[in-house]
Structure 1
Amino acid sequence: MQSQEVEAFRVLATAYCDFIDSSRSFDEEESFKKLLRIISQLYTNALDLPEVEVEEEHLPDVDFPLPEVDIKHHNVYTEIFDPYHAETPVNGCLDDDIMGIYSDLKKGLLLYEQGHGIEAVWEWKFGLEEHWGEHATSAIRALHSIKFI
């Protein structure tokens, strides 16, 4: 599946995964700034991905190793999952957010590279709505706090 929106997202997803693959340790202001910028762009661009239909049981299996990341002393933060319901705050982990985003994006990238463009777009869009989007918004809030508060 080719469109300007899909190509723009694919380029950002590739840049994100390459950045995570090459940056094992995050503790400098510049690495947090770059992470905040790219996650924000990913989230924004994902909102423009087209709607596609795929039968989940027919998605090809994609296996890949996950890199390890070290956030140092900024890893654990406090959050509330649903701002519209009174909940007790819980701890979130920035490394879990980073890897949750990475895993979903990488799976889509590998599907795309294997010629499964519609399945890749579905994976990215479904992940935005059901998994990596939540990690992205949590990471954006945590990274914003690191950078500005």
Structure 2
Amino acid sequence: MSTTDLEAFADQVAQHIANYLDGLERVALGDGEEGVVPFLLLEVSQISFIGAQLGANEDVVPEGNIEPPHALEGDVDALRQGLAARLADVDDYVEVFDPFSKKPELEAYRLSDDLADIAADLTHGLRHYEEGNRIEALWWWQYSYFNHWGNHAGAALRALQAVVAHARLDVAEDLTVEAADEVGVL
């Protein structure tokens, strides 16, 4: 890709990241009493799609192959705490960290930690972007996708999908059994 193409791609990625961060902040602050988990499922799905695009793209290497310094990172603790409060009943889950390991082990995760860690990584790149360093931003988003936030997004996506699936399928199963019992099938 040419530099112009990479910069245009960075613009697209930055917009998706801003949407993700805005959505998380709204949830953490209490918006959307009903439907928080399905909303987060959509948010994580969309940011995972952007991550997949970053992963499928050629390696992005910043000029001089170094990351320029920029302002200090924002603190995501308030975001993490707000999400933890909203996700209290479904925050903790387990996941296989490396399915290709010779001895895969279950790891304990928290959705609130995953979502906040993703936000921290994306915000780091967004700071580069806002300072006019679009190639560095794109490099950071791609690098951190492979190195950190991509794993958290994948794990969170599976956990959120499982919560939604259980809510829908378990209810449907209960209603089916109840209806079958009422008509004398069981």
1:15-94 equivalence runs, <5 A: 15-24=19-28, 30-49=35-54, 50=57, 51-54=59-62, 55-56=65-66, 58-66=68-76, 67=79, 68=81, 69-70=83-84, 71-85=87-101, 86-94=103-111
Aligned to 1:99: 116
Deviation, structure 1 residue 27 = 9.1
Q: Which residue of 1 aligns with 2:175?
A: none
Higher helix share: 2
Letter of the 2:95 partner, please give it: E
Q: Which structure ranks higher in relative contact order (CA pairs < 8 Å, sequence separation ≥ 6)?
A: 1
Aligned runs of 1:5-20 on 2, under 5 Å? 5-20=9-24
Return the offset for 1:59. 3.9
Give structure 2 stretches of 5+ with no counterpart.
1-5, 167-186
**One of 83, 92, 109 as aligned partner of 2:126:** 109
- Give me the TM-score of the superposition, normalised by structure 1: 0.87
Identify the residue that residue 131 of structure 1 maps to in structure 2. 148
- Give the deviation of 1:127 after TM superposition: 1.0
Q: What stretches of structure 1 of length at least 5 have no aligned partner?
A: none
- Decide whether aligned partners of structure 1 residues 112 and 18 sit closer, same or farther in structure 2, where only a CA change above 3 A counts: same
CA contact (8 A) 1:62 1:111 kept: no
Number of residue-to-residue matches in the alignment: 148
Give me the identity figure in percent: 28
For normalisation by structure 2, the TM-score amounts to 0.71
